[in-house]
Structure 1
Amino acid sequence: MGRKKKFGEESDFVSVRVPKSKRKEYRTAIKSFVENKFAKETNSKNKNSVTPIIKKGSDKFRKFEEFVEQTEKLKKKKEKN
Structure 2
Amino acid sequence: MSDHLERLNPAQRAAATAAAPVLVLAGAGSGKTETLIRRVAGLILDGEAPDRLLCITFTAKAAGEMRGRLLALLGPARRPRR
Under a length normalisation based on structure 2, what TM-score does the superposition of the two structures give?
A: 0.25
TM-score where L is the length of structure 1: 0.26
Highest CA radius of gyration, 1 or 2? Answer: 1
